[in-house]
Amino acid sequence: MENDLSKLLTTALTGWDRSRDRSQQVEIGPSSIGGCRRKVWYQLNNQPQSNHNTENLAAILGTFIHGGISEAIKREDPFGDNFLIEQEFSHEGMKGHVDLFIKDQGLVVDWKTTTKKNLRYFPSKQQVTQVQIYGWLLENNGYEVNNVSLVVIPRDGQMNEIRSYVEAYNPQIAEEGLDWLYEVQDAVTPPAPEKYAAYCAFYCEFFDPTGESGCQGIQK
């Protein structure tokens, strides 16, 4: 019975995740910019998946947490006068879902989840670039953007361990991120691996230890 219930939950979560718009989109969104160039190149060139054992439970739980936060935040602006919550914006082919924009502050907010152990890596350059691109999208859709913020929630922590990072909106950072993407798009051959094989085996759908149909990752 225990194994049956585990299988039931695993099947349900995996099926739900695969059915979501974000899981199905082919376009590269802000969250992928600044990550592994080779992985993004594969995505842009419709490379067949070679690794079917990727672990995405943390990402699925993160999505559920995002949904819960969205519902909770609505209580702080019940009439929707000041908050834009989980809205999609696009400009010049770039599309992104903004977690929260507080209009009277001109503040973009992006929620992140992690573990207490990994709090020391927050915020990463990739995360900062992502939220700056959200600011760029909002600005180019007619909103005044002053600052961008990342808020990280440790899934195994306490409320007092939630951390936030705020910096001034800087369109140059967003444009540098977009240039990164254009360079990957223009590459004729896949860029060199940027992650170690031990990591890719669990988290990259294009990992292939043989190197015949995918990426071997960086070999130690």
Please give the full DSSP string across 80-103, using - where no structure is assigned: -SSEEEEEEEEETTEEEEEEEEET
210 domain residue, yes or no: no
Name the residue with higher pLDDT: 120 or 23: 120
- From the number of C-beta atoms within 10 Å of its C-beta (0-12, 13-18, 19+), residue 105 rates as middle
- Contact at 8 Å (CB) between 165 and 150? yes
In a domain, 133, yes or no: yes
128 within a domain of the structure (yes/no)? yes
Whether the Cβ atoms of residue 100 and residue 89 lie closer than 8 Å to each other: no
The predicted pLDDT at position 20 comes to 65
At 95 the pLDDT is 95
Pick from 1-5, 95-99, 106-110: least confident: 1-5
The mean pLDDT value for 118-141 works out to 97
Q: What is the CATH number of the domain that holds 92?
A: 3.90.320.10
**How many independent structural domains does the chain possess?**
1
- Residue 166, pLDDT > 50, answer yes
**pTM to 2 decimals?**
0.89
43 lies in some domain: yes
pLDDT: is 23 or 165 the higher one? 165
Q: What is the pLDDT of residue 177?
A: 97
Q: What is the mean pLDDT of residues 202-219?
A: 90
Does residue 211 lie within any of the structural domains?
no
Percent share of the chain, pLDDT over 90:
71
Q: Is residue 217 part of a domain?
A: no
- Asked whether the predicted pLDDT for residue 22 surpasses 80, the reply is no
Structural domain harbouring 185 = 2-203
* Residue/partner pairs of 120-124 with CB below 8 Å, 24 or more apart: 122/150, 122/152, 122/163, 122/165, 123/150, 123/152, 123/165
Q: Identify which of 10, 98, 21 has the alpha carbon closest to the alpha carbon of residue 56.
A: 10
Q: Which residue has the higher pLDDT, 57 or 201?
A: 201
* C-alpha span between 33 and 128 (Å, rounded): 10
The label of the residue with tokens 């001034």 reads: 168
Residue 219 lies in a domain: no
Q: What span, in angstroms and rounded, lies between the C-alpha atoms of 47 and 41?
A: 9
Q: Are 183 and 144 a contacting pair, CB within 8 Å?
A: no
Inside any domain, residue 76: yes
DSSP 155: T
